[in-house]
Amino acid sequence: MTLDVARAIGWQFFVTLWHVFPWLAGMGVVFTLLSGVTPCNAGKPWWKKSGLSTDIAYWFFVPVFSRYLCIALTAIGTALIFGITDEQKIADFYQQGHGWIGTLPLWAQGLLFLVVTDFVLYWSHRIFHVGACWKYHAVHHAPTQLEWLSAARFHPVNLLFGTVTMDIVMLLAGVSPEVFIVLGPFNTIVSTFVHANLNWTLGPLKYVFVSPVFHRWHHAVAPQDKNFASTFPVWDLMFGTFHMPQGQVPQEYGIDATSAPVPEGLLPQLIYPLKA
């Protein structure tokens, strides 16, 4: 690693720290208040949960890793598909989007992005629940006390073949970067919301948008392999994986006894799939 690369990574970590900390502080306050009033599961507050330091480490690791990976793979994809290699020309090419997708109004691009990525991520999510892929996703399912902080726990391989790939594909397809400016925070808020310890089902809207109870059933020890959608439960309804029993909430979370125990700590969890 050259000195310039090390400096760039160090600077990016500082920028990430500057941006992530206010989000963590704000969501910590919000979910402390909400879970105190309408908790899904009684027990220790989120700041006393086991693995707290691991959760926090992921909140800083994931943005840095995802950013550099997205930049590198986008540059490679742009060179291979469009023959553009100059850094400034790449930035100019994507500035307003491109192709027929780039001609759509931003709201239409955003809706297209949400629907397409949510559909693909539904199936990607299902794939990560079977075979050799599961050991990479098990890192996300390891917490036995599910809290909003758990939203960032994703192994790099899981990220690569999930949100990172979809972001790059949609950018290469022509979606304007301005869409990501809006949907980036939106996806972060939705992800932390559905992992929060809340007994919210969203009532009649439970078939339209994911809710904390919906996603907590996904993390439950039993039943397994339910509620894979990230934003729109319609995919689970269509493909037979929707599970929201009336008046019930899950009580036990984590991975079952058939999987190798997941250690705590960022580095041990990055290595875990190689040993599992």
Query: What DSSP assignment string belongs to 52-83?
Result: HHHHHHHHHHHHHHHHHHHHHHHHHHHHHHH-
pLDDT at residue number 17: 62
* Residue pLDDT, tens place only, 203-241: 999 999 999 999 999 999 999 999 999 999 999 999 999
pLDDT at residue number 7: 56
pLDDT at residue number 207: 96
**In sequence order, what DSSP letters do the residues of 219-270 get, joined into one string?**
HBSSS-S----SS-THHHHHHT-----TT-----BS--TTSPPPPSSHHHHH
Per-residue pLDDT of the chain (276 residues; tens, 9 = 90+): 455 545 555 555 565 566 677 877 888 889 889 999 999 999 888 888 889 999 999 998 898 888 888 888 988 999 999 998 888 888 888 888 899 999 999 999 999 999 999 999 999 999 999 999 999 999 999 999 999 999 999 999 999 999 999 999 999 999 999 999 889 888 989 999 999 999 999 999 999 999 999 999 999 999 999 999 999 999 999 999 999 999 999 999 999 888 889 999 999 999 999 986
pLDDT at residue number 5: 47
* Nearest C-alpha neighbor of 89 from the set 79, 81, 77: 79
**CA atoms within 13 Å, Cβ hemisphere of 210:** 26
Calculate the alpha carbon distances from 23 to 17, 36, 174, 185 in Å.
Answer: 10, 19, 29, 10
Count of CB atoms situated within 10 Å of the CB of 58: 22
DSSP tag of 162: I
> Looking at the whole model, is its pTM more than 0.75?
yes
Which residues constitute the domain of residue 126?
Answer: 3-275
Cβ burial 17-35 (10 Å sphere, 16+ → b, else e): eeebeeebeebeeebeebb
| Domain total of the chain | 1
